[in-house]
Structure 1
Amino acid sequence: MHTSSLRQNFLAELDHELTNTRRVLERVPFEQAEYRPHPKSMTLWQLATHVVNLLSFKTLFLEAAGRDFLDPNGAKPGPTPTSHAELLARFDQDSATLRQALEASDDEQMTQNFRLHRGEHTIFEQPKSTAIRLMGLNHSIHHRGQLTVYLRLLDIPVPGLYGPSADEKSGG
């Protein structure tokens, strides 16, 4: 009987979710970057950039023992993309980097703890596999869902992610 490893399971799920996320990002209109559905909401471009920046966080969860938000030398997201092409290029690059880090890891590494903190205050400390799942993958899926609402409100056809979307069912 063959059993999958944590790493193999994450790779399979990651590939599926990265494909879906890219399909959503492809539809984000740069010319409407400042759109926000509510004053408390991020702009469309801030949200799309955040989704891309979360890829670096997932890689950090794999490669480091922790991250202190007060550390001025800590990992930071790259500059805000200034075009749609740049956003997609960074998504592709960061996706490849994350995939390589996951391929280079093993189940033992995935069970080691990752501590996210601000100085002495621990935000969370969990096994790396849990950190990737909760603060990485689930967090990304959450914000991707928000992006699909922005697309809907802008009357941009929403791609189906786990089956056909309403746009695909009605022929667009």
Structure 2
Amino acid sequence: MRMIDPILQELAQEGATTRKFLEQVPGDKLSWKPHEKSLSLGQLSRHIATIPCFVAEMVKQERFEFPESLEFQSAETAEELAATLEEGLKKAREILGQFDDQALMVTWKLMKGGKEIMALPKIVVIRSVMLNHWYHHRGQLGVYLRLLGAKVPSSYGPSADENPM
């Protein structure tokens, strides 16, 4: 088994869970924010839908230059989120599936203004910058959904709204 294979399995499983969360996003609340410093629901949801593909594209390279300013685009409609996620997951699987074990151990660098911020093997970047980052924001989305009175899906066990056990 290649090192990437368990990650691809996890990506598929967590993609299904993420899809359930995005399906609960109320389309009439995309501009809502829990706090003035927070992303809007539309921005957070779109970010979640695009993380796997964005990070997979990043690790194809040896380094990534972080932009001077970061702007999060908002979803235009709640309906676009599932399609964006599916398209991104497909592309991420294609990209990640091409990595052999040796390529996954190559050091990848995050740069900002020419300064090195992070240097890690690509497999670690996939685990932390893609997957852990994805789960972090999905957890945020769960809080947004609860505050808006929407249903919060089950992730790894029952939620107050869904019990798959």
Q: TM-score surpassing 0.5?
A: yes
CA distance in 2, matches of 1:45, 1:112: 35
Q: Which residue of 2 aligns with 1:22?
A: 19
Q: 1:81-100 CA deviation, whole Å, 9 max, x = no partner?
A: 32222222111101100011
CA deviation vs aligned residue, 1:101-122 (integer Å, no higher than 9, x gap): 1222211111111111113211
Structure 2 counterpart of 1:10: 7
Q: Given that residues 17 and 155 in structure 2 are in contact (C-alpha distance below 8 angstroms), is that contact kept between their aligned partners in structure 1?
A: yes
Aligned length: 162
Following superposition, the deviation at residue 164 of structure 1 comes to 1.6
Deviation at 1:77, TM superposition (A): 9.4
122 and 158 in structure 1: CA distance in 2 versus 1, 3 angstrom threshold: same
Taking structure 1 as reference, are residues 49 and 70 closer, same or farther at Cα in structure 2, changes over 3 Å only? Answer: closer
Does the CA contact (< 8 Å) of 2:33 and 2:40 recur in 1? yes
Which of 16, 34, 37 matches 2:34? 37
Is the contact between residue 25 and residue 48 of structure 1 (CA under 8 Å) also seen in structure 2? yes
Residue equivalent to 1:104: 98
Q: Which residue of 2 aligns with 1:149?
A: 143
Q: 1:164 aligns with which of 145, 158, 162?
A: 158
Q: Where does residue 52 of structure 2 map in the other structure? A: 55
TM-fit CA distance, 1:51 = 1.0
Structure 1 gaps, min length 5 = none
Q: 2:110 aligns to what?
A: 116
How far did residue 56 of structure 1 move? Answer: 2.6
1:134 aligns with 2:128: yes
Aligned residue type for 1:56: C
Question: Structure 1 residue 20: deviation in Å?
Answer: 0.8
* Correspondent of 2:82 among 83, 88, 94: 88
RMSD over aligned CA atoms reads: 2.0
SS of 2:118's equivalent in the other structure is: strand
CA offsets, 1:113-152, max 9 Å, x none?
1111113211211101101111111001000000000001
Compared with structure 1, are the counterparts of its residues 115 and 105 closer, same or farther at alpha carbon in structure 2 (3 Å cutoff)?
Answer: same
Q: Percent identity?
A: 36
Q: Is residue 48–residue 134 contact of structure 2 (8 Å, CA) maintained in 1?
A: yes
Shift of 1:5: 2.6
